[in-house]
Chain A
Amino acid sequence: MLQRTPLAVAVATLLLGSVALAQELPPQADNAWFTEAQATLQERLARQLNTSRAKNVILMISDGNGVGTNYATRLWHGQQNGNYGDENVLPQESMPHLALVKTYNVNAQTPDSSGTGTAMLSGVKTKAGVVNVNENVSRGDCSTVMDNALTPITRMMSDAGKATGIISTARITHATPASGFAQSADRNFEDDSGLPEGCEVPDIATQLVTAMSEGWVDIAMGGGRRHFLPAEVTDEEGQAGRRTDGVNLIEQAQAAGARYVFDDASFADVGSLDDGPILGLFESSHMQYEYDRTGEPSLAEMVEASIGALQGAEQGFFLEVEAGRVDHANHAGNLHRVLEDGVAFAEAVAVARELTDESDTLIIVTADHEHAIAFNGYCGRGTPITGLCHAIDGEGVEYLADTLELADDGRPYSVVGYLNGPGSVIRKEAMPPALSMEADHEQGGGEGTGTDMAMNDADAEPAPIGTGGDVVAQQLLDRLDITTETDEAGNSTDYRWIGSRGPLTQEEATDPDYLQQATIPKSSETHSGEDVAVYASGPFAHLFDGTVEQNFIFHVMHHAAFGAE
């Protein structure tokens, strides 16, 4: 049985009622951690549930920004602002309601963005790789799309009289934004060039322009110009289109009354919807990473312009926002760009909250999935999140500047690593000539060399493996795990996958182009099936609680907009 000490009684009393707060204070009551937690408690106790109908709904998705990636962004953002990082609060983290989200697709433990986008925008989970069709459709099979199509919430919002917008820093035809307006058997059907023969379902770019022409998408901004232009047409930046049907969808949209903007200058005059729908295509492919951005608007600027244009709608608006390149930088294993785009997303969240009223606007901030990102320890407070892990200072707070944590190989390591990806320390190495029969032969190894003997003796029986050197050599050879590859010209090369972690300095690790170390070699780092968070404010945001299925997000938006009194 627990013993109740006087201190425990005091704390219990303190926590049970504010009346007792001033009377029985524990010794830690003056501690800043204690008082700040008490302030948070009072703020939470004062919260009122908002059960009003949502006039406006904003769904903000940071692609690939799971709990881990978001944590890294929190630290980066804080450290950029001069604090240790841990204590920092991102704009989405100050939102009052939160749940964890299970992101798997119907057929995938590790989800993809079109399956997750469909869950959020249409309310049902489906297979990986398909857009707004149910799980009866096999990926790539156009023939079953029409019988299994799902209606995205964008259409429902528009039918209810709301203005709608979809913006992304990825191509606007990419999986997540496409989930806001398209139905497709494959997310890669971004233009007609990829459609299978006989496919009667229009490509994703065509569907967007159709939706704008029909009037149920009022704003679409992002990258992806090439999917709207014929191959024989070059865009404003000299890049060729990808369409093979000769159709210029930008001209089609303009003919239907849309205004087309393509850079930061034309974007500056984007104006309101009074002058027609807005089509912004700022890059041939994806928009630039925030770190590299020039000549095109930021995500926050696109959010500001979109809300400004949509706010004039009498019945309110629906806006889908995607930070598409957090995901891409994670795929590349380049944490610096992940975090720069993560902060750009956070700034967009802040803008959305500032420009709207929590009483009538439901804002949902989430990710579609996480990545194979992981965090090493034990790092001292304030250790640069993109850099090497510094040791903890037992006598102080800030990390020990002169002491790096070392692995068993004697090398330092970065705080963040990836389980797989291009930063892998295991690399594909060609066998050196001294160990490669093919290489020696090409170089004309002299008569009587080991190479020639082997080549000339190709059909002979192998020498029996005896003892001593033969056995050791065979064991070593087995460990080498050699793979032979033959190129188009018929040249064979022996490879092995081998790795060790070389020396690494803090300057190198914090370089913007550095790839964090990974374990399993893959040219592109993968998603993971780990949960993501959903943050929410506004009408019915309190429905986000506990751990939910991803498609539940649609149902909260739908209820807040249509189901509430």
Chain B
Amino acid sequence: MSRTSTRRRWLRDHLAMAGAIALSPVLLSRSAPVPAEQATAAVRLRELYEKDGSFSALAQSLAGKRVPVRGFMAPPLKADAAFFVLTKRPMSTCPFCESAAEWPRDILVVRTKRRFDVLAFNIGIVVDGVLELGTETDPGTGFVSRVRLTDAIVERV
């Protein structure tokens, strides 16, 4: 018997016990969503950058402090990495306009406190972590970042 059919059978049996309430979309979330007012209060990624790519006064004032930032989780560069890229808009790729992945300029690297659950690129999240400014290269992947949130906790909006 295939793994999938086993899984399906288990789910069927489990669901019989759990009941239909388990199918509620709310319960399908891995973590409790951030309350709307809290999400709204979180810093927006674009507020950390000026148009020319320099850091905003807000970013400089928050450096070294724990800050909640809104955004989206770009698809992780590799499985099981303890970091991901936060984007201000869902990081989509266009088969007709790009021949390779295009990273926007105003991104932020997140280093998580513990292994995180990968969320789809278009699910809004708030990342709470310590803001670090300055260019740094990730030793594991070689990914160069200018802004980071470390010791971060991820919550969906």
Contacts and interface: CB of A to CB of B under 8 A. Distances in A.
Interface of A: 112-113, 170, 174-175, 188, 190, 194, 285-286, 292-295, 327-328, 331-334, 421-424, 427-435, 437-438, 450-451, 454, 458-459, 462-463, 465, 469-470, 472-474, 476-477, 480, 482, 484, 487-489, 491-492, 494, 496, 498, 500, 503, 513, 515, 523-525, 527
A486 to B, nearest CB: 9
A454 B9 contact: yes
30 contacts: A174-B97, A190-B99, A294-B52, A295-B52, A332-B92, A421-B92, A424-B122, A427-B120, A427-B123, A429-B28, A430-B117, A430-B118, A432-B27, A432-B28, A433-B30, A437-B6, A450-B17, A462-B1, A462-B5, A462-B9, A469-B17, A472-B16, A473-B15, A477-B15, A480-B11, A482-B8, A513-B44, A515-B90, A523-B121, A524-B96
A327 B94 CA distance: 10
A434 B94 contact: no
B13 interface: yes
B93 interface: yes
Interface string B26-65: 0111100000100000001010000110000000000000
A36 B4 CA distance: 68
B27 A476 contact: no
Contact of B10 (A433, A451, A470, A472): A451
A469 B118 CA distance: 32
Which residue of B10, B80, B123 has the most chain A CB atoms within 10 A of its CB atom? B10
Given A424-B122, A472-B20, A482-B8, A435 B14 contact: yes
A435 B13 CA distance: 11
A127 B117 CA distance: 42
A190 B4 CA distance: 43
B120 A476 contact: no
Contacts of A331: 92, 94, 96-97
Contact of B96 (A286, A438, A527): A527
Contacts of B9: 454, 462-463
B51 A292 contact: yes
A113 B96 contact: yes
A188 B99 contact: yes
A469 B18 CA distance: 10
B53 to A, nearest CB: 8
Given A190-B99, A527-B96, 5 more contacts: A437-B7, A473-B13, A487-B79, A494-B7, A515-B122
Given A188-B99, A480-B23, A500-B25, A294 B51 contact: yes
Interface of B: 1, 3-18, 20, 22-23, 25, 27-30, 36, 44, 46, 51-52, 78-80, 88-90, 92-97, 99, 102, 117-123
A333 B13 contact: no
B99 A459 contact: no
A422 B80 CA distance: 24
Contacts of B13: 450, 454, 463, 470, 473
Contacts of B36: 503
A432 B97 contact: no
A220 B51 CA distance: 26
A380 B122 CA distance: 30
A173 B43 CA distance: 37
Contacts of B18: 434-435
Contact of A469 (B16, B44, B117): B16
Nearest to B4: A484
Contact of A491 (B79, B94, B102, B119): B79
Which residue of B5, B22, B30, B92 has the most chain A CB atoms within 10 A of its CB atom? B92
B157 to A, nearest CB: 9
Contact of A476 (B15, B78, B89): B15
A422 B28 contact: no
Contacts of A434: 18, 22, 27
Contact of A484 (B7, B78, B117, B123): B7
Given A294-B51, A454-B9, A482-B8, A428 B30 contact: no
Contact of B6 (A432, A433, A458, A489): A458
A428 B17 CA distance: 25
B6 to A, nearest CB: 5
B27 A422 contact: no
Contacts of A113: 96
A423 B23 CA distance: 23
Nearest to A327: B97
Contacts of A480: 11, 23
Given A174-B97, A513-B88, A515-B89, A450 B10 contact: yes
A422 B7 contact: no
Top 9 A-B pairs, shortest CB-CB distance: A454-B10, A473-B16, A469-B16, A473-B15, A524-B94, A422-B92, A294-B51, A428-B120, A422-B90
Contacts of B6: 437, 454, 458
A112 B95 CA distance: 10
Contact of A450 (B14, B27, B78, B102): B14
Contact of B89 (A451, A474, A513, A523): A513
Contacts of A421: 92
Contacts of B117: 430
A425 B13 CA distance: 30
Contacts of B3: 458, 484, 492
A513 B46 contact: yes
A463 B9 CA distance: 8
Which residue of B5, B16, B25 has the most chain A CB atoms within 10 A of its CB atom? B16
A329 to B, nearest CB: 10
A435 B22 contact: yes
A561 B87 CA distance: 48
A465 B16 CA distance: 11
B11 A477 contact: yes
A423 B8 contact: no
Nearest to A227: B99
A498 B123 CA distance: 12
Which residue of A285, A422, A423 has the most chain B CB atoms within 10 A of its CB atom? A422
Contacts of A294: 51-52
Given A430-B30, A472-B16, A513-B88, A194 B23 contact: no
A186 to B, nearest CB: 10
B35 to A, nearest CB: 12
A491 B14 CA distance: 21
A332 B90 CA distance: 8
Given A188-B99, A454-B10, A476-B20, A423 B90 contact: yes
